[in-house]
Each structure stands twice: as C-alpha cells, then as structure tokens.
C-alpha cells in the first residue's frame, strides 16, 4: 500500500511528479493537492491523481476500490483517469469545525495495488489561486502556462453542460460557454507562442466505457465569450459525467454534464 500526501512545491512550478514512465500497465495513485480557507470558516480540500502510464487511461468504478472514508464514499472523485499527473481535479468541502489533524482519506485500488492519499489542514499545504495556477502548469488540461499570474485575474465563468439522455448508437451534443475578465492580456501568458485567450476542453470524468469527442478542445478566443459544441460518442450504456474545462492561461473553472446512455435495440 502506498501513501501519498500533498504534492505542493511553491518554489518550483515546473515540478514533475516522481516515478518511471511507461506506456501502459502501471497503476494510478490519488494525490492531495492542498487546502484553502473559505469566507464562512469552512475548508476546501483539493485532490488530483498520478497515472503512471504515458498512454493508457485507467477506469476505477466507485465503490471499495475508489472511495473516501467520509460520507458515503463518493466525494466527487473521477472514475476515469487520464495518463500522467492531473492537478486539482476536484474539491471536497469540509465544515469549519473540521479538526486540524483529522485526515480525509481517498483509497484507490487498481492494477493490483492499493494507493492512499491523506489530506488534512497542515499549514504548509495551504493554497490560494496563485499557487494553484503555478502548480497546475504541468497539467495540459488546465493550460496554466502564464508564468506570472496576478491576484486580480479571475477564473473564466463557464455555463452550459446540460444533462442529457441518449440511446446507443446516438451521440450527445454538448455546449458550454465561457466569459472572462480579459486577464492575462495577450503577450503575458503562453510562453509557447500559441494563440492566447480562453479555450474550453472536454474530458471524460465518469462512466463505464470509452468516450470520443468531436472536437475535444475549442480554439482560444480573447476579448469575447467563447462557446464550444462537441459531439460525444459512447460505446457502452451507463451513467456518464462529462466535464468542460475553461482556462484563460492562468486560471480555470469547469462544469459537468450528467449523461444517461441507454442500451440500443438488439
């Protein structure tokens, strides 16, 4: 059994999670990515994961092999795990009377291994939006490539992600729209020379079978709202959660669409 704690390294936004890289066959470990105080006195704990494969995506259904030790075991964690290190994937809200030393434990069993991440309110693991932006820089889903995020920059506001029901082989058509405050300004963000602005990316968050998006990411748009429509194809019936992530190059936000996929007529 492997235990993983916080993965925060404030002095190095380029930190690469340790471990060998394989294309497939390796396990996924949960990670505790830090905690944040809320205005009402409650706390938010952030979790992510590290899939040690460079290509293989892993699925672990909710239940004893993918569970928290608090509540009913479902705290919003994913069941579909993309390759590599994924930061700040979801948050768990705990009350203001949460004991400082109490652990919130996420257990993930896959590929013959059980990995555990324990989150608690250790002062060194407290984060704010600037530290979140810097630590998420290695996650290409979040695209926080801005090297100098500022406190006045607000995350995009994303809407849409309406629930749907489809019957195989039909696909779902999902739409999301994001607005932004115009920060960071062009020329201050993407060091790779790509188009700057806000873009929306679609990912498979929960659900029993492979999912295909057409397209999976929108072009980046600066200075006006950006809308993204994607056609989502499924291979197996079941309940799915599809996530849209809006990022401006420094801050990010998301919305989730709950999709019920019914089996087709034989």
pLDDT tens for 146-194 read 656 788 999 999 999 999 999 999 999 999 999 999 998 887 544 554 5
- Same domain (yes/no): 93, 164: no
- Same domain (yes/no): 192, 231: yes
161, 174 Cβ separation under 8 angstroms: yes
What pTM did the predictor assign? 0.89
Q: Could you tell me if residue 147 is inside a domain? A: no
In this structure, what token pair is assigned to residue 87?
């930061």
pLDDT in tens, 33-90: 999 999 999 999 999 999 999 999 999 999 999 999 999 999 999 999 999 999 999 9
- Same domain (yes/no): 78, 179: no
Q: How far apart are CA 45 and CA 72, in angstroms?
A: 17
- Same domain (yes/no): 13, 114: yes
- Same domain (yes/no): 12, 105: yes
More confident of the two residues 108 and 190: 108
Q: How far apart are CA 258 and CA 194, in angstroms?
A: 32
Domain closes at, from 87, 107, 138: 138
Supply the DSSP symbol for 188. Answer: S
CATH number at residue 227: 2.60.40.10
Range of the domain at 68: 2-138
- Dihedral of CA atoms 253, 77, 218, 221 in degrees, nearest 10, equals 10
């Amino acid at each position: 059994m492997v235990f993983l704690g916080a993965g925060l390294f404030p002095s190095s936004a380029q930190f690469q999670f340790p471990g060998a890289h394989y294309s497939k066959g390796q396990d996924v470990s949960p990670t505790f990515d830090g905690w944040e105080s809320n205005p009402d006195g409650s706390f938010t704990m952030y979790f992510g994961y590290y899939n040690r494969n460079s290509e293989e995506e892993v699925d672990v259904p909710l239940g004893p092999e993918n569970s928290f030790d608090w509540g009913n075991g479902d705290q919003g964690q994913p069941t579909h795990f993309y390759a590599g290190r994924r930061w700040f994937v979801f948050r768990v809200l705990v009350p203001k009377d949460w004991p400082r030393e109490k652990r919130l434990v996420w257990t993930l069993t896959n590929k013959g291994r059980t990995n555990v991440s324990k989150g608690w309110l250790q002062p060194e693991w407290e984060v704010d939006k600037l530290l979140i932006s810097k630590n998420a820089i290695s996650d290409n889903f979040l695209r926080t490539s801005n090297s100098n995020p500022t406190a006045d920059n607000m995350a995009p506001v994303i809407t849409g992600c309406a629930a749907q029901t489809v019957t195989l082989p039909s696909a779902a058509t999902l739409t999301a729209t994001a607005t932004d405050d115009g920060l960071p300004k062009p020329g201050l963000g993407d060091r790779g020379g790509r188009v700057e602005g806000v873009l929306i990316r679609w990912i498979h968050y929960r659900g029993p079978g492979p999912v295909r998006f057409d397209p999976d990411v929108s072009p980046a748009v600066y200075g006006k709202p950006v809308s993204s429509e994607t056609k989502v194809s499924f291979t197996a019936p079941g309940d799915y959660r599809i996530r849209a992530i809006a990022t401006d190059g420094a801050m990010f936000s998301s919305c989730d669409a709950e999709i019920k996929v019914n089996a087709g007529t034989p």
